Chains A and B, each alone.
Chain A
Amino acid sequence: MLAPKIVAERPIDALLQAAGRVVLGKEREIRLALACLLARGHLLIEDIPGVGKTTLAHALARLLGLRFSRIQFTSDLLPADITGVSLFDRENNAFRFLPGPIFAQVVLADEINRATPKTQSALLEAMEERQVTAEGETRALPDPFFVIATQNPAHQIGTFPLPESQLDRFLLRLELGYPDRAAERALFTAGSQREEAERLHPLLTADELPRLQSEVAAIHAAPALIDYLQALVEATRRDAAYRHGLSPRAGLALLAAGRAWAWLDGRNMVLPDDLQAVLPAVACHRLRSAQGGGHARAEDIAALIRTVPIP
């Protein structure tokens, strides 16, 4: 009724299904990841190794027909390893810039919290500015440009946790978690999903994604919805359980993600439902608990939603 079900014909749904065949039992997470991409945001996946973070990133890149590169972050990774270096070309008698792995459309930054803050900030600067400045020269990154960073949970040994300000640059943060029983069994029987991802064919052409992104940005957000958005943001600021509430940038992120979620649902308007759906992914990594210092959990956000009347 609300969403006219022309849905099955949209390539985006075929895309979601195809990704679902690779990353088993994670429909909601795939959807969130795609929403993040459509909202022109960057994605942070926080989980233990081996639950399919890389596979998801890989599958999305393949399906969207985007150039993909992967950077494994280690403690000795240098900024230039990400952005690229200039080498002296003897033939032309000049320096030649060798672009680093960041010059791709989808960049998978694996285990980002294993690298030093200096290296982390090189990546995050590129994410924010969508350009790289190396050796005095500014070079634009490709468009679309989408970073999927993964990080190990903070309690794992040998990590440099991302500071607050850096975390804020990720539009959404996901936890994949263990697959459920049935999905895991299917995984065991089917064999390597990473190879499956390699075999995926693009379902979108490269120039289609910007069009979809601008469609998403044009989704209607009524004054009543903005009221709800404000109420939610204010609720996080009022809540004594967190050190700080959500920033205005976080509010914008919530709205952008809500738009993408609504668009994925085939609607031309954002509903409170959309904000509720994306709020945990938007808010958890941005809210730090007043006691203990850990991040907010999805259950906390669900409780917070229950305290905010829908205007």
Chain B
Amino acid sequence: MSSVTEMPVSAAAATRPLPKRRGRSNNRPLLLLLLGPAAVLIVLFIVGPALYGMYLSFTNTQLTGFAARDPKFVGLDNYVYLLNNADFLGSLGHTGEFVLYSAIIGQTVLGMLAAILLSRPWMRGKGIIGAAVLMPMIVPEVVASLTWASVLSNNSSGTLNQLTGIFGVPPTAWLQVVPMASIIVVNIWRGIAFAMIMFQAALEDVPVELIEAARIDGARAMQVFRHVTLPLIRGPVFLYLLLTTISTVGAFGLVYFLTQGGPGGQTQLAAIYIYERALQFSQVGIGSAASMILLVIVLVLGSVYLRLAKVEV
């Protein structure tokens, strides 16, 4: 509670004298009127589903069929089923692979590269290049998917096949032959801008004097980055990793549009598994249990990142 004073919001100081000056009792109805609707709706549509999902995961609820009329409490059956189910474990593996290569490696490396290059004083055309990198993030995910559907198109005049054709490579059905690699590239493409923005903000806060001092001492550019810059921006980097991991674990539209989990389940991410189980095969109980497992994984990852970043909350 003492940390109120640590809040960066400058106005914290402005509001602090307020409660002492005014009686509290007459504010109760006004407070309820103002904050009540927002609080009730958040509980109903955000907190409610999370708790209800937890309850559903212990039942055999179905949308249609016999069990739909009379759902029963089945204990941990759904969890036992899922943890022995190759499809579900596979979908977790695909999500892990997807997050690792697209978010943690691809977006981070390319976003950092873009942020560093655009922070060089000699770089010209920063505005145009920055805008180009931002484009994939601005467009809605349906349009992003649509553009890549044409790039990865399997016939010989798909954009990528036309490009590789220049080098004499025969046309390839990219989404059939290398589906996982394809959606990883698509997701990297979509996320570079967010990484770049986060890292640009972090790099601006690194004192120039430290870098210059290291250069004078004879350190090469890579050494400066590794031993001076990187430790200084460690907090924002882990924060970024946290945010991108959360959003990538929840990635649905981009992949569903392109592959619908196929071919042969090779791109079936956990999010797609949940959607299909619950809303297409109408096994809500199993879908909810899968959601809970996914949620626990995200929370564990989140706390690990926060620990590594030494962020003081």
Say whether A associates with B.
Answer: no
Query: A residues touching B (Cβ–Cβ < 8 Å)?
Result: none
